[in-house]
Amino acid sequence: MPICRRISLTATVLACLAGTGIASADTTQENLTKYWHARERMLTEFTVRGTGPGQGQPAVERNGIHGFIKWADSTIRLGWYLGILATEYHLLTEPATFPGAHAGNVGRATQTVEELYEALTALERLDLVADASFPPPCSSAPALNGFFLRDDVPDGFHQYFPPMTSTQSDFIDPVLTNKEMSQDQVYHVLLGLALVKRFIPDTLTHQSKGLRQWAVVQATRIGEHISRTEWVIRNPACEDRAVNRGPLASGYSGGTRLTLGFITDGAFVPDTVEPLLNAWELAKDPNFLPYIDEDNLHMAMAIAATGNGWGSETADALGVLAQKEDWPLYPLLHRALFADEAEGFCRTGAALNARARAMLDEVPQQADFASPKPAGPAVHGFSSSNRFIRGKDSAYAGEPNSEGMRYNGQDFMLLHNLYAVATPATWEGGNGPGIPDCAAGGGPGNGAGPADAAHDSSCSCRLGAVPTPGGGAAWLAVLGAAFALHRRTRRQQR
């Protein structure tokens, strides 16, 4: 068997078998059937359609044992919902490349547009009402200024989800600061807005709103807010104090500014200081000290993917980082957004596609996305609140104390769409392109040196090495201490 560099044995075998046609896989249409089942399930069991409070923002989980439905870190889920809808629209409106994407329902694209409008409305509403959602001495005037709430789900919202008996949300949490935005919410909201910018046409409108332009406006507003005071996220309603959880967007500001630049086509690229630009360069190293906490990893990967954060090295770096927690979604996101600018995908694509396809194929038809606890393991790895945010230890096994928990399945749906969009040739019956050939002498591990000869492979699945920047050890210690000191997670606060 060919030897593939810096990827796991599982990914190597999958990549090489996929290349020879030996691997057993579900068909495009079989996985599409799973997708539309998951979409209907998310819509009917986790979401209320509309533009009012709590509407247009999917819940993350519901528990049949304890009878609650929960919105937690809800703007992360809203960002992924935006991304699912944007990529779904692309699949539905490119029939030559993705034939049969509508699965017999030719009106699906119309509903996708309606849902996208409602989701963008929800995001803007969370901004508008945020300043008015804190008691005196904080202000009470609504304002569109980029400061947003995590959700606005009121008490009693479970009435829309029988037989649930209680509602949990950050909005009604007795700890008032738990409803404030934070850096992780920002990064995943930008993920969704970046996909809207990339895949929704300029000409598409709904209710007289240009949806793509609206996404750009909202991203700009959020970016202006988080960057205005040296990348410390503040609550302007409450004397402009730092938010209580995740206020420091400075550590990844070198990457976030590039994401904002991508979404705005270069019209808004806020400044940051040189030490933080240097720190961002360190984040492409898989041994970056803050990655001891996988939360720091998914935030960095989301920003790097949506901003082409390390230039020509981004695809290779994301390919290596994806191995840490088995997260192929982020390098596929990068390829979907940047196409041939994702230069290293010619090296990483085969293994990433093989792993993504294995994840999709293992999900049974009519699957539930739920914790397997107290039994287990599950037959598929989409058994936590989000497979690409939670660590790999919870895939198949479930998260701790998750008995009775069922999840919205966004991780499966976005992976399904990005796998197709990143490499359209994977869609059976279509005419889209496959993984590009690497240019001679281009990129890490693809030159004419001895390393290239030593790792030659007929299945073209090696990943390029990503060098550690000079002086990395000292910087890692400093950055690690900063992250450890300042990062406040939900688990620490609640």
pLDDT digits (tens, 9 = 90+) for 430-440: 999 999 999 86
Q: Are 294 and 300 in contact (CB under 8 A)?
A: no
Which of 6-15, 388-397, 417-426 bottoms out in mean pLDDT, i.e. has the lowest? 6-15
Residue 255, in any domain of the structure: yes
Q: Which of 163, 231, 85 is nearest to 406 (CA)?
A: 163
> Mean pLDDT score of the chain, rounded to an integer?
88
Enter the tokens of residue 488: 């406040």
Q: DSSP label at 5?
A: T
What pairing do the DSSP bridges indicate for beta strands 234-235 and 241-242? antiparallel
Enter the tokens of residue 183: 């850096």
Instruction: For residues 444-449, give the mean pLDDT.
Output: 38
Which of 4-18, 335-349, 445-459 bottoms out in mean pLDDT, i.e. has the lowest? 445-459
Residue 475, in any domain of the structure: yes
**How far are the Cα atoms of 41, 164, 370, 411 from residue 157, in angstroms, in the given order?**
18, 10, 21, 24
Enter the tokens of residue 412: 């499966």
- pLDDT at position 442 is 53
Enter the tokens of residue 475: 């910087």
pLDDT at residue 480 tops 60:
no
What is the pLDDT confidence band of residue 25, given thresholds at 50, 70 and 90? confident
Per DSSP (E only), the strands in 116-190 are 166-169
What is the pLDDT confidence band of residue 355, given thresholds at 50, 70 and 90? very high
Residue with the bigger pLDDT between 209 and 478: it is: 209
Q: Cα(434)–Cα(422) distance, rounded to whole angstroms?
A: 9
The 3-state DSSP composition of the chain as helix, strand, coil percent (nearest 5) reads 50, 5, 45
User: What is the span of the domain harbouring residue 94?
Assistant: 9-362+412-493
- For residues 227-264, one letter each, b for 16 or more C-beta atoms within 10 angstroms of the residue's C-beta and e for the rest, the string is bbeebbbbbbbbeeeebbbbbbbbbbbbbbbbbbbbbb
Q: Residue 210 sits in a domain of what CATH number? A: 1.50.10
Residue 185, in any domain of the structure: yes
Give me the phi and psi of 71, to 5 degrees please.
-110, 110
What pairing do the DSSP bridges indicate for beta strands 166-169 and 68-71? parallel
Burial level of 30, CB count in 10 A (0-12/13-18/19+)? middle
Residue 317, in any domain of the structure: yes
Burial level of 448, CB count in 10 A (0-12/13-18/19+)? exposed
Residue 123, in any domain of the structure: yes
Q: Indicate the residue type of 200.
A: I
Residue 105, in any domain of the structure: yes
Residue 32, in any domain of the structure: yes
How much of the chain, in percent, has pLDDT values that exceed 70? 84
CB-facing half-sphere around the CA of 225: CA atoms within 13 A: 27
3 state SS of 445: coil
What pairing do the DSSP bridges indicate for beta strands 61-63 and 405-407? antiparallel
| Each residue's pLDDT tens digit, 149-166 | 999 999 999 999 999 999
Instruction: For residues 192-200, give the mean pLDDT.
Output: 98
Q: Cα(492)–Cα(488) distance, rounded to whole angstroms?
A: 6
Q: Are 149 and 179 in contact (CB under 8 A)?
A: yes
Instruction: For residues 361-371, give the mean pLDDT.
Output: 97
Rg (CA), the chain: 22
Give me the phi and psi of 69, to 5 degrees please.
-120, 140
Instruction: For residues 343-354, give the mean pLDDT.
Output: 97
Q: Cα(182)–Cα(163) distance, rounded to whole angstroms?
A: 32
Q: DSSP label at 284?
A: T
* Total number of domains constituting the chain: 1
Residue 229, in any domain of the structure: yes
What is the pLDDT confidence band of residue 402, given thresholds at 50, 70 and 90? very high
- Cis preceding linkage at 137, omega within 30: yes
